[in-house]
């Protein structure tokens, strides 16, 4: 039997890489997209080097997507800026917008157009963040970009439920996860380990669960889900956001 096809962006590191490995272990064929070459070696792994910030991302992604016709697409590539909004450079801001907003737009557009052309099950999972569901001082532009991701997922999901019910869009909204995201976002590793950072395997488990049971803005980790949904709303917002900002500045 031919293996099922998955397409994963940001497949060289972090959540994308760990998800690629988990799917390969379950017998899927995986095509990874990243701007760098990959050292992931597996007979069912294929790699495409593509800078998702490039202006041609739409056409380039469409070529890969149409050649593969994947059952599952996970858009994991993303970058943060961990600085006050006033302090970040124009170049860093533009890169974040090109990747988190521009590439998400291009990938979702290709997915929705192909879903209208091809009546077979297909599922796009977008990586949002808790920052996409709430104010996050110290990561303002990142939070804004992930609100775009979450908003797009919810709205396109509802459109496809009417126009192409064989296609699904889901989104995952993780809290901090132990990957190199922080270093890739221009900060040094933390000087001390903080509590509440999820291990990447928990996020991968939830991504695979999401493929079986599509959901929007799913928060991985039972405790994180509970704290965000029930505890956080009880804390006065002014105090909470000030605390979040001051701790972001201090480490
Ligand atoms: N880790 C967290 O704390 C956390 C929390 C909530 C949400 N998320 C979201 O989860 C997703 C994955 O994060 P992660 O922790 O896995 O981050 P990561 O470890 O930094 O991995 C990101 C991956 O995206 C790739 N990438 C970056 N720019 C690219 C570009 N222009 N074109 C193609 N690929 C590019 C990176 O490649 P290079 O190595 O070449 O840069 C890397 O392989 C992101 O969307 C992030 O916003 C992460």
pLDDT at 188: 78
pLDDT of the chain, 251 residues: tens digit per residue: 889 999 999 999 999 999 999 999 999 999 999 999 999 999 999 999 999 999 999 999 999 999 999 999 999 999 999 999 999 999 999 999 999 999 999 999 999 999 999 999 999 999 999 999 999 999 999 999 999 999 999 999 999 999 999 999 999 999 999 999 999 988 877 776 777 899 999 999 999 999 999 999 999 999 999 999 999 999 999 999 999 999 888 87
Q: What is the dihedral of CA 239, 240, 242, 247, to 10 degrees?
A: 130
Task: Kindly give the number of the ligand 1 atom that is closest to the alpha carbon of 11.
Answer: 43
pLDDT at 4: 97
Angle at 24 between CA 19 and CA 132, to 5 degrees: 15
In our burial notation (b when 16+ CB lie closer than 10 A, e otherwise), range 98-133 reads bbbbbbbebbbebbbebbeeeeeebbbbbbbbbbbb
User: What ranges do the domains of the chain cover?
Assistant: 5-250
Task: Kindly give the number of the ligand 1 atom that is closest to the alpha carbon of 77.
Answer: 24
- Within 13 Å, how many C-alpha atoms sit on residue 236's CB side? 3
pLDDT at 65: 98
pLDDT at 40: 97
pLDDT at 13: 97
Record the pTM. Answer: 0.97
Task: Kindly give the number of the ligand 1 atom that is closest to the alpha carbon of 198.
Answer: 3
Ligand 1 within 6 A of CB of 36: yes
Instruction: Using the mean position of ligand 1's atoms as its centre, give its distance from the Cα of residue 185 in Å.
Output: 9
Look at the domain 5-250 and name its fold: Rossmann fold (3.40.50)
Going across the sheet that includes 29-34, the strands are 45-49, 29-34, 5-9, 72-75, 122-127, 167-172
């Amino acid at each position: 039997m031919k293996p099922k096809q998955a397409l994963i962006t940001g497949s060289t590191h972090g959540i994308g890489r760990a998800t690629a490995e988990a799917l390969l272990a379950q017998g899927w064929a995986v095509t990874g997209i990243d701007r760098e070459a990959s050292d992931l070696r597996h007979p069912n792994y294929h790699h495409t080097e593509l800078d998702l910030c490039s202006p041609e991302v739409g056409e380039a992604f469409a070529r890969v997507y149409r050649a593969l016709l994947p059952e599952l697409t996970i858009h994991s590539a993303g970058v943060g800026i961990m600085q006050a909004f006033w302090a970040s450079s124009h170049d860093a801001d533009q890169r974040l917008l090109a990747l988190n907003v521009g590439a998400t737009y291009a990938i979702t557009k290709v997915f929705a157009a192909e879903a209208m052309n091809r009546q077979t099950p297909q599922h796009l999972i977008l990586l949002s963040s808790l920052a996409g569901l709430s104010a996050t001082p110290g990561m303002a532009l990142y939070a804004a970009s992930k609100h775009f991701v979450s908003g797009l997922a919810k709205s396109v999901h509802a459109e496809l439920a009417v126009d192409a019910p064989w296609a699904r869009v889901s989104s995952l909204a993780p809290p901090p996860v132990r990957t190199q995201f922080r270093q890739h976002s221009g900060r040094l590793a933390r000087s001390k380990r903080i509590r509440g950072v999820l291990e990447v395997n928990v996020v991968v488990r939830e991504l695979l669960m999401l493929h079986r049971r599509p959901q929007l803005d799913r928060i991985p980790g039972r405790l994180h889900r509970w704290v965000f949904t029930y505890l956080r709303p009880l804390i006065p917002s002014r105090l909470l956001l000030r605390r979040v900002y001051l701790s972001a500045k201090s480490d």
